[in-house]
Copies of this chain bind each other. A is one copy, B any other.
Amino acid sequence: MRINLALQKLEERGLECGIVLKPENIYYLTEVFPTAFAVLLLKEEPLLYLSKMDIHLVSKCKIDVDIIENFKKIHIPFKKIGIEESYMSYKFYRKKLHGKKIEDLDFIDEMRKIKDDKEIEKIKKSLKIAEKCMKEIIDLDMEGKSEKEVSAQISKCIKEKAELAFLPIVASGKNSAIPHHSPTNKRIKKKDAIIIDLGAKVGYYNSDITRTICSSPDEKFLEVYSIVVECQKAAIKECYAGNKIKNIDIKAREIFREYNLEDYFLHSCGHGIGLEVHEPPKISKNSEGILEKNMVITVEPGIYKEFGIRIEDMILVDKKPKILSKLRKLP
C-alpha cells in the first residue's frame, strides 16, 4: 500500500508526523477522495479526519477514520512535522504548527510523478474521451457560433462519458493570443485561428490536449503553425527517461529562437498530469530533475502574437517517448 511507503519515507526523514490536506494526496494514499475539508495524519497509526459531509466515505476507508465536527479541535502533539508546503495555508500553519520543525512532504510529489499501470490505464481512458470530443469539435463547422457555445458543446460531449478536467478553452481570432482565455460571446469567423484546449477526468485521472484550427488559414497562420509543429516534435523527442526535464523546454525555446519567436512563447512547455491537471514535474527551462520511466507529461508549445497557436499532447516517458494522444495535427 502506498501509505506504507509514505510512512517509511517519513521515518527516513526523521519526521514524527505528516499532515496531508490536499484531497488528491489523500486519495493517492488512502483511495478515499474527500469532498469537504479533511486531514490525513501520517503517523504510526495513520488517521483520516473527515467532515460529517463525508460520512458516506467511512466504509470505503482502509485506515482509521474519525468524523470530526470542528477541525479546530484537531490536536497535533508532534514536534517534527511534514506538510504540503505549497498547499497548506499560512493560517493553518500559524494556528496548529507555529514553532514546530517543519519540512516539505515532497516525497508524495515524487511518488505521484511516476505512474503505475492502473494510473496509466485511467489516464489513457480519460485521454481517449478527450480526443473523441476534440475530433467531434474539429469536424464541426464553427463559423458563426460563439466561443461559449462551442465550449458548452465540448462540456456536454465530455460529460456524457466522463467528468470535465477543467472548463474547456475556446479562443478565436484575437482572443487566441491570450493563453488562458475564457470563452466569450464572440462569434467565430471563417479566418479565425481557434485554440481548443480540453480535458476529461476518469476515475480522478485527467487528460489535457490542445489543438489549433482554422477553416480558412492564410499563409501567416500556416507558417506559424508549421513552426509550432516543428517545435513540439523536437520538444517531444527530448521526453526520454534519463534526460534532464528542463531540456524539453530549452529545446522548444531553441526552435522558436531560430524563427525569432521566442518572446511570444509566454508559458512553460508543459507539466505533469494525473490526479491534477497540472502537477509535478513542471517543465520549464529552470526545472530540476531527470525524466523517469512512467512519468506522464504534456508538451504544449505555443506562440501568441496577433493570434495564438498552441498544440498540446500527452507523453508517457520511457526509453523513447510514447505519444499517448493519437489525434492528427493538421490545422
Residues of A within 8 A of B (CB): 35-36, 51-56, 70, 83, 85-94, 102, 104, 148-149, 151-153, 155-156, 159-160, 163-164, 167, 177-183, 266-267, 286
Contact = CB atoms under 8 A, between A and B. Distances in A.
Given A85-B89, A89-B86, A90-B85, A160 B148 contact: yes
A86 B93 contact: no
A36 B178 CA distance: 11
B163 A159 contact: no
A139 B167 CA distance: 27
Contacts of A36: 179-180, 267
Contact of A156 (B91, B156, B164, B167): B156
A148 B160 CA distance: 7
A53 B88 CA distance: 26
A277 to B, nearest CB: 14
Nearest to A161: B148
Nearest to A33: B182
B90 A177 contact: no
Nearest to A152: B159
A178 B56 contact: yes
A207 B100 CA distance: 41
B149 A152 contact: no
Contacts of A177: 56
Nearest to A177: B56
B152 A266 contact: no
Nearest to A266: B52
B53 A266 contact: yes
Contacts of A94: 85, 102
Contacts of A35: 178-182
A159 B266 CA distance: 28
A156 B152 contact: yes
B91 A89 contact: no
A97 B124 CA distance: 42
Contact of A90 (B90, B163, B179): B90
Contact of A85 (B53, B85, B91, B160): B91
A53 B151 contact: no
A304 to B, nearest CB: 8
Closest 9 CB pairs of A and B: A35-B180, A152-B159, A85-B91, A52-B266, A90-B93, A53-B179, A152-B156, A86-B91, A88-B90
14 contacts: A36-B267, A52-B266, A52-B267, A53-B179, A85-B89, A85-B91, A86-B89, A87-B89, A88-B89, A88-B90, A89-B89, A90-B92, A94-B102, A148-B160
A179 B35 CA distance: 9
Contacts of A159: 148-149, 151-152, 155, 183
A151 B94 CA distance: 40
Nearest to A88: B90
Contacts of A164: 167
